[in-house]
Amino acid sequence: MYDYEDEDDDLFGDAPTAAAKAQIDFRAELNDDQYAAVTAPDGPAIVLAGAGSGKTRTLTYRVAYLLTQGALPEEILLLTFTNKASREMLDRVEHLTGVASHQFLGGTFHHVGGQVLRSFGDVVGLPRNYTILDDSDSDALLGEIIRESDPDFLKKKDNPKPKVLKNLISFARNVMRPVEEAARARYPSNRDVAEQIAFFAEEYRETKLRRGLTDYDDLLELWLKVLESNDEAATYYQNRFRHILVDEYQDVNVLQASIVDKIAANHQIMAVGDDAQCIYTWRGADLDQILDFPKRHPETTIYKIETNYRSSPQILELANDILESRSIDRSYTKILKPSRPNENLPVFVPAMDAYQQADYVLNRIDRLIDSGARYSDIAILYRAHFHAMDIQMELSRRGTPFVITSGIRFFEQAHVKDLVSQLRFIVNPKDLPAFHRFACLLPKIGEKTASKILNLAETISSKNNIPMVEALATEAVSKKIPADAEEDWDALVETLQAVDEAARTSPPVKVVDLAVNGWYADFIRYTYDNWAHREEDLESLIEFASRYDNLSEMLAELILLSSESGNRVTRSEESCLRLSTIHQAKGLEFPYVFIIGLADGLFPIKRAIDGEGDLEEERRLFYVAATRAEKELFMIFPMLSNQKGTPVRMQLSRFIRELPDTHYEVEKPAPSYRSQGNYGRGNQGYGGKPKYGGGWARRRS
DNA sequence: AGTCGAGTTCTTTTT
DNA sequence: GAACTCGACT
């Protein structure tokens, strides 16, 4: 028998060397479907790899195969969707072939785009030292631009907020449609607004370019623009990359697909994906890209990998049911063939409310642990972060070790951003959001004062032809500083000068060190009572900087890797239970999976039911969730859900209702003392089809 | 005019 | 918890 364990890292021993390449027996280590894809001849190809069919394995072996066929590592471009996926893939390639992962150009689209712009950005007017705005920075910048060009716009409360507008503009850019068109589709009743939004978008674009800034979308948009407007750049990349592999191709948007098509002038693309798992249409992901791939690339070969090595036949049957429920015009048909032994039927649990849901899940987990499972074998998945709140609290109360991929990421923490903004300003003194960020920390300095200071400093800087840092230190500027802020201001300017000096003469470690131990060190000590903890985070930033020899490159990585340290661990070095959104669990697998919050309005989420979102996408999300499970799958429905403090009775999720009830079993949770729901007559009708009697409308006090 | 603190409301998904 | 509103204070 073959060993298809995808996660088995020790398959090839401890010290693979370049010589190991020759030892890979592709025929023996892959099944027929995988082997066909891995050894595919040159030419465009789609690999349709169903959930759990060894997609990552196929991709990594493909890279190894190309190397044995004489391809050089630097000729291979490996594009993924998330940093996690890219790291995992490159590690496994390295492990498999002994070729160090940094020799490949690989990473997320945004990451590679950032690198391309580092070399060719001047073609589109971007300086080499450009800085990248994260989400909240770009929201703030857009807000400022709106306030500048139409001060009344944001005061009207039925006008959309900057964040909403940024998302709308971002969506338009990712699907490569005019902003005005997208705006008109969104606000059909208000023609003026659409026009105005388009105007804001244009101002936003110009401001970013003028100030040497990019947002996430620019990394793709400008990348494509470079390729289209500059033959030298296009030819360079077209010649360099003889093989392009794209992971998760079903989640690619038009912009990304266009970039790939442009680089792959000779059609050497292998696109790997599964149309049933497309869950990013809200970010512009476009199923047509994978469905029409063969049209855009004549003579595409389609490879299907259908044997599932992950889940029990029972879970697969349920997963197939979910796909059956789809109402869609087209898709690639595929059958997932089971290969695992039988297990119990998936379990459906109607719980009284979120408390009982948490109670059930944790009790069930205790039993799993008692019977030999490790915490790391278990995942709790949910649609939105806040659905997990009760479980989180209960886990902390019981002292169960867990990791949560929380909403707040390492680099989005206030103190990290505060510090990074100072570095950004040093690298790119035109980075206005960066200046605002740290200037507003000083007492009596808010948005308005910060703008005045920056304006004045910029005038002085250009008039006297001195660097910005010097301009900030001039008499004229310090006169504008409010009295309460003077002391901080002097210390801040001193730090900035020292950091600026170091940036020109010393490696990034030294620069970051100076910033961390400068003015900001004092600032956090008298601002936060948990300053010690924050200081630790900043120390790790110094450590991070030591891996780079270029400051702007380091900052770019920092922002693009934002999810890297997002895992909040409650206990270190221990086997941990995982709490995750379904989106973040994509590509992962666990023996035991709990999907919570299976109520209409939670999952599928309310907006999708109201028609503002895509119900089909919600269903694909449910499919992704269910196919994470290897042995046992638990689906929990909280009948009462707290909405704005009052419990509201929920409908069972339509995704459960549409499943054949012979494909899962119903388990009633033990009554929980913490739950108020034990009204004496609950739980009727759970023998077969779920049916819900009344009586839950009582309010919780 | 602009900053700041208290109180309120509502949470999608991510590079 | 964070983002927003509102009123008080400088």
Q: What per-residue confidence (pLDDT) applies to A673?
A: 57
Protein CA at A520 to nucleotide C1' at C3, angstroms: 25
pLDDT band (50, 70, 90) for residue A22? low
Protein CA at A8 to nucleotide C1' at C9, angstroms: 64
- Please state, in angstroms and rounded to a whole number, the distance separating the CA atoms of residues A622 and A626: 6
Q: A282-286, A450-454, A541-545, A667-671: lowest mean pLDDT where?
A: A667-671
Q: What per-residue confidence (pLDDT) applies to A150?
A: 84
Q: A164-168, A427-431, A651-655, A685-689: lowest mean pLDDT where?
A: A685-689
**Quick check: A157 CB within 7 A of strand C?**
yes
- Mean pLDDT computed over A67-72: 92
Average pLDDT over all residues of chain A: 87
- Please state, in angstroms and rounded to a whole number, the distance separating the CA atoms of residues A286 and A263: 19
The closest alpha carbon to A468, from A431, A506, A502, A515, belongs to A431
Protein CA at A161 to nucleotide C1' at C5, angstroms: 14
Classify residue A374 by its DSSP letter: -
List residues, Cβ < 7 Å, touching strand B.
Answer: A 81-84, 108-111, 135, 216-217, 279, 282-283, 383-386, 405, 407, 440, 443-450, 560, 562-563, 581, 583-584, 605, 607, 612-613, 643-644
Of residues A376 and A695, the one with the higher pLDDT is A376
Q: A404 phi and psi, to 5 degrees?
A: -130, 130
The closest alpha carbon to A241, from A358, A368, A66, belongs to A66
Q: A17-26, A183-192, A208-217, A273-282: lowest mean pLDDT where?
A: A17-26
Q: Contact at 8 Å (CB) between A64 and A96?
A: yes
Protein CA at A439 to nucleotide C1' at B2, angstroms: 15
Neighbours of A482 (CB within 10 A): 13
Q: A170-184, A202-216, A324-338: lowest mean pLDDT where?
A: A324-338
Protein CA at A446 to nucleotide C1' at B5, angstroms: 14
Q: What per-residue confidence (pLDDT) applies to A389?
A: 86
Residue A3 in this model has a pLDDT that exceeds 80: no
Beta bridge partners of A347: A634, A665
Asked if residue A151 has a cis previous peptide bond (ω within 30° of 0), the answer is: no
Supply A517's token pair. Answer: 């131990």
- Please state, in angstroms and rounded to a whole number, the distance separating the CA atoms of residues A95 and A11: 9
Q: Contact at 8 Å (CB) between A576 and A569?
A: yes
**Quick check: A136 CB within 7 A of strand C?**
yes
Task: State the DSSP string of A78-91.
Answer: EEESSHHHHHHHHH
The closest alpha carbon to A285, from A588, A44, A586, belongs to A586
Residue A122 in this model has a pLDDT that exceeds 90: yes
C10 closest protein residue (CA to C1')? A444
Q: What per-residue confidence (pLDDT) applies to A638?
A: 92
Reduce the DSSP state of residue A244 to 3 states and report it: strand
Of residues A525 and A571, the one with the higher pLDDT is A525
Q: What per-residue confidence (pLDDT) applies to A153?
A: 84
Of residues A160 and A23, the one with the higher pLDDT is A160
Residue A5 in this model has a pLDDT that exceeds 60: no
Residue A53 in this model has a pLDDT that exceeds 50: yes
Locate the DSSP E strands across A452-597: 567-569, 577-581, 590-595
Dmax over CA atoms of chain A, in Å, equals: 83
pLDDT band (50, 70, 90) for residue A187? confident
pLDDT band (50, 70, 90) for residue A620? very high
Protein-covered nucleotides on strand B (Cβ within 7 A): 1-4, 9-15
- pLDDT digit string, tens, across residues A395-434: 888 888 888 876 667 788 888 899 999 999 999 999 999 9
Residue A680 in this model has a pLDDT that exceeds 50: no
Q: What per-residue confidence (pLDDT) applies to A562?
A: 66
What's CA A19's distance to the chain center, in Å? Answer: 36
pLDDT band (50, 70, 90) for residue A84? confident
Protein CA at A415 to nucleotide C1' at B7, angstroms: 25
Q: A403 phi and psi, to 5 degrees?
A: -110, 140
- Mean pLDDT computed over A364-368: 96
Q: A271 phi and psi, to 5 degrees?
A: -100, 120
Q: What per-residue confidence (pLDDT) applies to A41?
A: 94
Protein CA at A16 to nucleotide C1' at C3, angstroms: 51
Residue A211 in this model has a pLDDT that exceeds 70: yes
Alpha-carbon Rg of chain A, whole angstroms? 27
pTM metric for this prediction:
0.88
Residue A270 in this model has a pLDDT that exceeds 90: yes
Helix (H) or strand (E) run with residue A251 in it: none
Residue A569 in this model has a pLDDT that exceeds 70: no
Protein CA at A487 to nucleotide C1' at C8, angstroms: 26
Protein CA at A111 to nucleotide C1' at B9, angstroms: 37
Q: What per-residue confidence (pLDDT) applies to A408?
A: 66
pLDDT band (50, 70, 90) for residue A572? low
Q: For the CA atoms of A405, A410, A411, A417, what is the dihedral angle to 10 degrees?
A: 130
Query: A456-461 contacts: CB < 8 A, separation 24 or more?
Result: A456/A480, A461/A429
pLDDT band (50, 70, 90) for residue A12? very low
Which nucleotide C1' is nearest A219 CA? B15
Which nucleotide C1' is nearest A405 CA? B14
Q: What per-residue confidence (pLDDT) applies to A627?
A: 96
Residue A552 in this model has a pLDDT that exceeds 50: yes
Crossing angle (nearest 10°) for helices A191-210 and A179-186: 140
Exposure on the CB side of residue A498, measured as CA atoms within 13 A: 16
- pLDDT digit string, tens, across residues A301-315: 999 999 999 999 999
Q: What per-residue confidence (pLDDT) applies to A677?
A: 42
Residue A110 in this model has a pLDDT that exceeds 90: yes
Residue A675 in this model has a pLDDT that exceeds 80: no
- Please state, in angstroms and rounded to a whole number, the distance separating the CA atoms of residues A98 and A113: 27
Task: State the DSSP string of A37-96.
Answer: HHTPPSS-EEEEE-TTS-HHHHHHHHHHHHHHTT--GGGEEEEESSHHHHHHHHHHHHHH
B11 closest protein residue (CA to C1')? A386
- Mean pLDDT computed over A560-581: 67
- Mean pLDDT computed over A194-223: 95
- Please state, in angstroms and rounded to a whole number, the distance separating the CA atoms of residues A333 and A323: 10
- Mean pLDDT computed over A55-82: 92
**Quick check: A161 CB within 7 A of strand C?**
yes
- Mean pLDDT computed over A454-462: 95
